[in-house]
Structure 1
């Protein structure tokens, strides 16, 4: 590692990191950037000795010297974890959240050459962090109605704009430019369809997409969907195939996406990966197996703006995106939509939050029995997971009873 990187003051890296994580022109906006900037400033102050116990002088060997990357190791992050978890009145899951901002910056510094190792993720560094306190609101995220509407509205606008840009191109548009526009429209409509399915079907993300560790979970294919009937066959958590409902809000995004994709066979995944490296390797290997020589393969690929479009034309079936891929997509979309998220574990709308949010809607509207059927869970489990709803309802009953009794003349 260059000595220059080691001697760099910590805060010299902050602006570049925040630009990479921010949104808008120059990476200057976004909730994540704002929160990360706040925590990085606190970390820098602590590292310089401006925060902590009265006898704390910072991490630099020479008192008063500005801390540099050469001063960082896992012991520093261990001390900071201990500092966060000290007697400051912070909840356990809040301490975890604050530390994750610093840990993410540390990982970025490794990739950028400032550090040689991700010290913040080492077990000894994280050991002082408290466990989450187990309180219900912090267990799992649930998309609120406002968040669901904001995200679906955002992806719908993106998809409409991308499709319009593609379908209104002049006839004399360069073929590669036309392919690029189609690819952008495909990606936007795929993202829209994925968000709507996660937001309204309450299907588990592991039932919808590919799990690399379970060959039975290869991701839903077009042959598994019946848009006319409003149903989708998925491999359930209980280790068997079952039909899941596709409510009305999901049908139109799926139809539009399918029409644009025009999959060569029904066995194509509904949500294929768009990862260029994966698709490039797949296309080269499949065309070679079909007898094409390397020179011909290179020439064929050069005729397409993206390997996905070539795969569609010659029916080279790509894999479905993985559950981790869905999380990355939702993280990107949540940031782009600038959705306000206040959760101790997630700074984006996580896939399981869509399912939890629909559970909230169904329990409040139709009760636990109907919700359990839609969520493919036992009523007992649904009652346990959404016990806060029943507690609130019982509280209303108690309030009403007290008001009635208190109003009776004595």
Structure 2
């Protein structure tokens, strides 16, 4: 191996690695890139002795004053880092496994790129301190029950109906700004209802439905992506390609009512636009300025509207979709308003992924793993693994029935 590679500082390889692993043009997007960058930075700080422990000076010999390089790496270094993840950072065992995998993947890439001569991170001695992985993903176990799904959809449906009625029954002489405020409230309530119904019944991943700031390809579904007559929606799947997802009957009416009220100026409008006032104010000012409007005229135009969203609709100033984090905030607000008391180690509200998992439960119990896998856009093997508790419960029922049968025969030997 060239001495140049061995003497290269560790962090000199990070950006190139992240570009290779990133998504989008230039490899500068994607959740994996963001998470890997965070853990590589943690690893670099630990390797340099900067992670805060008084008795840790890093992987460079104490009598040498330089940054850590690839020449300092061997399986003992990764063994110590595995021990650090499992102890010093106080992480859960599955999180330790996840974070170590980021570093291990980088190590493997470094071997292929000529920075290292061996994949030290995958050696048995390096991985020995890692805790066993019980197969669960942290925070990914919540599933909406049928009672929770019905209660939440009923709550948002009532809110939307009340808001629409309040808007559509206003007297004709209502002040224009008051009428706009009522329309805005109805739009927000119907948007929230449509979002909840889609999450509750389609089992689409929230990252496929809404905007991901770290992946430019995930810009959120637009009205042009929906076919309400056919009951389908085009989404950018986790497998990195566009595919059609089903829109079952309970979802159609909320989407139709919401679309009618919004009346989007073009089909390219997001189905679930942000309602964040700061974002919309900046968007409207910039767009109107680009169209040649002077600041004074823009201010006067905005003063005619109770909310910038309504001005954006009239001027076809297309806002961005809400983000996946935005959806979580909406679900938190709605769960609190509906009075849910959620007992979960990570989420005290009905989280978006819980809708998908809850629908998976329904499908597996009603139609089996093969049909559920098609609807969930997963392999049957993965669905069987994720919902193995259902099969275990069914086998338990079979065992109970068998035991009852044996006990019955034992109690009545004359029947043998």
Q: Secondary structure at the match of 2:217?
A: strand
Could you say which structure has the larger radius of gyration?
2
Contact 2:24–2:216 under 8 Å retained in 1: no
Q: Secondary structure at the match of 2:317?
A: coil
In the TM superposition, residue 390 of structure 1 has moved relative to its aligned partner by 0.3
Q: In 2, Cα distance between the equivalents of 1:180 and 1:339?
A: 28
* CA deviation map 1:231-274 (0-9, x unaligned): 00000000100000000000000000000000000000000000
Label 1:365 to 1:64 Cα distance change in 2 as closer, same or farther (>3 A). Answer: farther
Larger mean CA deviation between 60-69 and 250-259 belongs to 60-69
Label 1:168 to 1:342 Cα distance change in 2 as closer, same or farther (>3 A). Answer: same
Q: Root-mean-square deviation (CA), in Å?
A: 12.0
Larger mean CA deviation between 126-135 and 292-301 belongs to 126-135
Q: In 2, Cα distance between the equivalents of 1:340 and 1:4?
A: 59
* CA deviation map 1:47-81 (0-9, x unaligned): 99999999999999999999999999999999999
Larger mean CA deviation between 111-120 and 318-327 belongs to 111-120
Q: In 1, Cα distance between the equivalents of 2:29 and 2:22?
A: 5
Q: In 2, Cα distance between the equivalents of 1:239 and 1:179?
A: 40
Larger RCO (CA under 8 A, 6+ residues apart): 1
* CA deviation map 1:6-40 (0-9, x unaligned): 99999999999999999999999999999999999
Label 1:278 to 1:385 Cα distance change in 2 as closer, same or farther (>3 A). Answer: same
Q: In 2, Cα distance between the equivalents of 1:358 and 1:181?
A: 34
Label 1:74 to 1:188 Cα distance change in 2 as closer, same or farther (>3 A). Answer: farther
Label 1:315 to 1:68 Cα distance change in 2 as closer, same or farther (>3 A). Answer: same
* CA deviation map 1:102-157 (0-9, x unaligned): 99999999999999999999999999999998768964100001111111011000
In the TM superposition, residue 328 of structure 1 has moved relative to its aligned partner by 0.3
* CA deviation map 1:305-342 (0-9, x unaligned): 00000000010000000000000000000000011211
Which position in structure 2 is the counterpart of 1:38?
38
Label 1:43 to 1:370 Cα distance change in 2 as closer, same or farther (>3 A). Answer: closer
Which position in structure 2 is the counterpart of 1:142?
143
Label 1:397 to 1:213 Cα distance change in 2 as closer, same or farther (>3 A). Answer: same
Larger mean CA deviation between 162-171 and 31-40 belongs to 31-40
Kindly indicate whether residue 52 of structure 2 is the aligned counterpart of residue 47 of structure 1: no
Contact 2:23–2:215 under 8 Å retained in 1: no
Label 1:241 to 1:390 Cα distance change in 2 as closer, same or farther (>3 A). Answer: same
Q: In 2, Cα distance between the equivalents of 1:188 and 1:377?
A: 32
Larger mean CA deviation between 13-22 and 348-357 belongs to 13-22
Contact 1:23–1:336 under 8 Å retained in 2: no
Q: In 1, Cα distance between the equivalents of 2:43 and 2:287?
A: 50
Moved over 6 A (4+): 1-138
Q: In 2, Cα distance between the equivalents of 1:30 and 1:336?
A: 33
Larger mean CA deviation between 98-107 and 384-393 belongs to 98-107
Contact 2:30–2:215 under 8 Å retained in 1: no
Contact 2:265–2:314 under 8 Å retained in 1: yes
Contact 2:280–2:309 under 8 Å retained in 1: yes
Label 1:387 to 1:9 Cα distance change in 2 as closer, same or farther (>3 A). Answer: closer
Which position in structure 1 is the counterpart of 2:356?
355
TM-score of the superposed pair, with normalisation by structure 1: 0.68
The number of residue pairs the alignment matches comes to 409
Q: In 2, Cα distance between the equivalents of 1:16 and 1:173?
A: 60
Contact 2:191–2:272 under 8 Å retained in 1: yes
Contact 2:31–2:215 under 8 Å retained in 1: no
5+ residue gaps in structure 2? 410-415
Q: In 2, Cα distance between the equivalents of 1:174 and 1:127?
A: 71
5+ residue gaps in structure 1? none
Label 1:27 to 1:340 Cα distance change in 2 as closer, same or farther (>3 A). Answer: farther
Contact 1:286–1:316 under 8 Å retained in 2: yes
Contact 1:232–1:246 under 8 Å retained in 2: yes
Q: Secondary structure at the match of 2:218?
A: strand
